[in-house]
Structure 1
Amino acid sequence: MEIHVRRGDTLWYYSQLFDIPLVLIVDSNPEINPNVLDQGQAIQIPGFTVTTRMIQKGDSFWKLASARRLSVDALLLLNPNVNPNQLQIGQKVRIPTRVTWLIVNGKQPYDFQRMTNDMNRLLAVYPFMRRREAGKSVLGLPLYDLRIGKSNRKVQVNASFHANEWITTPILMRFLNEYLLSLTNYFAIKGVTTLPLYGRTQLSAVPMVDPDGVNLVLNGPPASVKEEVIAINKGSTDFSGWKANIRGVDLNKQFPANWEFEAKRKPKAPASRDFPGDAPLSEPESKAMANLVRQESFARLLALHTQGEEFYWGYEGLEPPESETLANQFARVSGYEAVRYVDSHSGYKDWFIQEFRRPGFTIELGQGQNPLPITQFDEIYEAASGMLISSLI
């Protein structure tokens, strides 16, 4: 919600007026000097939107404000040209409306465009969240990296490394929405008060690592690569089993953690799943995710996959003691089985543990055959949200 500064206003006053933490207002206006506001300057207030009301008989600013648990001055701020003592029936006034509902609806096919639309809506209401590009896909779609918090202690979470595991994207987007909502409305998630986490931990979320692949599974092949992907898919136009990127490379088998060993026992040519590529980090998506980790000092990493209701937390004995503590916590809040080692290499979390000796987790959400039915969404989210909020503590 955008407002304009009046003489004598301060960000602290806006924090009190709208009952929004001051740090969130400051971070929603990164170009503003919070100590020197200019009259008429535009300020973003997070957690609010503006609705329009037509004045009806008996309306007054006091009644309108009281019904919404607002100060009358909040209405005056949004209606500088309205005389509150001379309201007329049919006159339009702007009402600041606290957002108390979820924006993300994950219980539907969730392709790149739907994710982007939800992301834009979240950024409009919660401008203290920041968006950057970690890289681009083969077909040029951005790999968005969303950031919440400003601490140097950073946690990385990603989803949809595998195309037909796309349900992990709306799960992560729903969590981001709930986290943002909790910060502006002062409620806890799984018993965890979130505002202290905002100052303690910076969350980096890449909700869709393989946007080309997700779009392929949900929408079919784009004309530019239709013949190629159908050929890779052995002539079939059913892409529900497709895990790879658009070039038929499994992005989660692309990392230099015993890649050569994995390559010997996996497909030797592009395929709908399991082909590790001709070399490690040959794909733009895997390069982008590797560069993201190299550029940032992440304290821990969570990769959301499906399925199995278990998670893997070790690699070659290189995981630190902290990993076991976190694994026990994740198992407790999710009911999932904690598995230390599994016969697999060259995954993102494998490489992260190998290179940085920090906790990394591959979390297999849900149960069944990929792509999991959207009817599992609520059950999956219940388990995932507990692990995600615990990862930020």
Structure 2
Amino acid sequence: MERIGGVTMTKHIVIEGESLYIIAQKYGISLSSLIAANPDIKNPDLIVPGQVLNVPKKSLETPIVIPRENYGYHEMVNDLEALQEFYPFIQMDSIGSTVMCRSIPVIRIGQGQKEVHYNASFHANEWITTLLLMKFLEVYAKAYVSGNNIGYFNIKTLFESTSLYLVPMVNPDGVQLVHGKIDTESQIYAEAVRINGESQDFSGWKANIRGVDLNDQFPANWETEVSRRGATQPAPRDYPGPAPLSEPETRAMAEFTQAHNFRLVSAFHTQGEEIYWGYQGFEPMESQEIIQRFVEVSGYEEIRYVESDAGYKDWFIQDWKCPGFTVECGQGVNPLPVSQFWEIWGKVIGIFLMGLHV
């Protein structure tokens, strides 16, 4: 036995007449699990005698992503590393860094030419959305290696047709601030306290660590949003910054998006159980059909237009003329308690899957 990453493996030497299916049956594992443990195999029908295969031995039953209070940046990174070790087909990279030089992870899962993007935690006190994306990543990967469907969605078909890119936490510094995980002796913390009216209660903080609302930062009528907000200096929320894309987090998101040809994007926020899907008439006709499917699987209300500009979804629809959505998960006052997680999950998992399907 040996360990590759976090997974206990045994080695198997292929003999004459064996196929991957026969080997998987011999070890009592699924064919998909065996294929996932051997990502170098390009054609599962072409294995030869003498070839050495990794055979996973660790159970898939213990979940990695556990919904819990104060789920922050380090918890996310630890879970991503564990998931990548267990599911070697998960690819992890970075889109850039935050004000405090934290790397902003991006995860790719799937191998299709169609590209779809989901993101979460643009707003610091909406960190429960990071948990939603992380749990979906785990559930989706597990369903793929197990060869299972989720509801009526064929996961193998989705995986092979679509490459899903996840940015689970756009605003790591802000999330850490909300959770009280910033060095209280640092100058940047002292400045955040000043911006917060000398209060150390950051539960109402949506901005990045410099007091800029990252979802008011994109070049989609940014000047109009500045006038509407009326904020002229850093604040816990609603300050659009001194210029579009002034913050490293929004620049990273813009450059990442420009480097891809996304067929659809969804930004996950809280709260209200609403889905915003239009912007200034730039949304394509097919968005109306897609939003109806999202409503059917979630029960959320669809809203085409709202008096708002400069958001990530707005910019994407404006510049790409492709379907873009802002999904407001859950009900209540931000930050939503983690006790709401499974109720929210039951409504948004259909949106996650439908976004890959349409």
Provide TM-score, normalisation by structure 2: 0.90
1:140-172 residue CA offsets vs partner (Å, 9 max, x unmatched): 111111111111101100000000000001111
Counterpart residue number, 1:108 = 69
Counterpart residue number, 1:291 = 255
One-letter identity of the residue aligned with 2:74: Q
Could you tell me whether the CA contact under 8 Å between 2:125 and 2:175 is conserved in 1?
yes
Counterpart residue number, 2:102 = 141
Identical-residue share of aligned pairs (%): 44
Counterpart residue number, 1:313 = 277
Counterpart residue number, 1:6 = 13
Q: Tell me which structure has the larger Cα radius of gyration.
A: 1
Could you tell me whether the CA contact under 8 Å between 1:5 and 1:38 is conserved in 2?
no
Q: Distance in 2 between matches of 1:272 and 1:319?
A: 31
Q: How much does 1:351 deviate? A: 0.3
Q: Distance in 2 between matches of 1:243 and 1:378?
A: 23
Map 1:1-393 → 2, pairs under 5 A: 1=7, 2-8=9-15, 11=20, 13-17=22-26, 18-21=28-31, 25-26=34-35, 28-31=37-40, 35=46, 41=52, 43-45=53-55, 48=56, 96-222=57-183, 223-224=185-186, 225-266=188-229, 267-393=231-357
Q: Could you say if the C-alpha distance between residues 237 and 327 of structure 1 is closer, same or farther in structure 2, counting changes exceeding 3 Å?
A: same
Q: Could you say if the C-alpha distance between residues 325 and 118 of structure 1 is closer, same or farther in structure 2, counting changes exceeding 3 Å?
A: same
1:283-304 residue CA offsets vs partner (Å, 9 max, x unmatched): 1111111111100101000000
Could you tell me whether the CA contact under 8 Å between 1:335 and 1:383 is conserved in 2?
yes
Q: Distance in 1 between matches of 2:49 and 2:65?
A: 35
SS at match of 2:179: helix
1:18-52 residue CA offsets vs partner (Å, 9 max, x unmatched): 54345x655654456665679585x555xx4xxxx
Q: Distance in 2 between matches of 1:383 and 1:185?
A: 23
Q: Distance in 2 between matches of 1:356 and 1:28?
A: 37
Q: Could you say if the C-alpha distance between residues 44 and 158 of structure 1 is closer, same or farther in structure 2, counting changes exceeding 3 Å?
A: farther
Q: Could you say if the C-alpha distance between residues 241 and 268 of structure 1 is closer, same or farther in structure 2, counting changes exceeding 3 Å?
A: same
Q: Could you say if the C-alpha distance between residues 289 and 162 of structure 1 is closer, same or farther in structure 2, counting changes exceeding 3 Å?
A: same
Q: Distance in 2 between matches of 1:109 and 1:372?
A: 11
Q: Could you say if the C-alpha distance between residues 318 and 7 of structure 1 is closer, same or farther in structure 2, counting changes exceeding 3 Å?
A: closer
Gaps of 5+ in 1: 49-95
Could you tell me whether the CA contact under 8 Å between 1:102 and 1:178 is conserved in 2?
no
Q: How much does 1:269 deviate? A: 0.8
CA RMSD of superposed structures (Å): 2.0
Counterpart residue number, 1:80 = none
Could you tell me whether the CA contact under 8 Å between 1:220 and 1:239 is conserved in 2?
no
Q: Distance in 2 between matches of 1:274 and 1:7?
A: 61
Q: Distance in 1 between matches of 2:151 and 2:97?
A: 34
Q: What is the count of residue pairs matched by the alignment?
A: 342
Counterpart residue number, 2:3 = none
One-letter identity of the residue aligned with 1:347: G
1:106-126 residue CA offsets vs partner (Å, 9 max, x unmatched): 133210011111111111111
SS at match of 1:265: helix
Gaps of 5+ in 2: 1-6
Could you tell me whether the CA contact under 8 Å between 1:25 and 1:128 is conserved in 2?
no
Q: Could you say if the C-alpha distance between residues 130 and 10 of structure 1 is closer, same or farther in structure 2, counting changes exceeding 3 Å?
A: farther
Provide TM-score, normalisation by structure 1: 0.82
Could you tell me whether the CA contact under 8 Å between 1:221 and 1:229 is conserved in 2?
no
Counterpart residue number, 2:4 = none
Q: Distance in 2 between matches of 1:27 and 1:187?
A: 14
Could you tell me whether the CA contact under 8 Å between 2:20 and 2:31 is conserved in 1?
no
Q: How much does 1:389 deviate? A: 0.7
Q: Distance in 1 between matches of 2:206 and 2:130?
A: 14
Q: Could you say if the C-alpha distance between residues 351 and 12 of structure 1 is closer, same or farther in structure 2, counting changes exceeding 3 Å?
A: same
Q: Could you say if the C-alpha distance between residues 160 and 279 of structure 1 is closer, same or farther in structure 2, counting changes exceeding 3 Å?
A: same
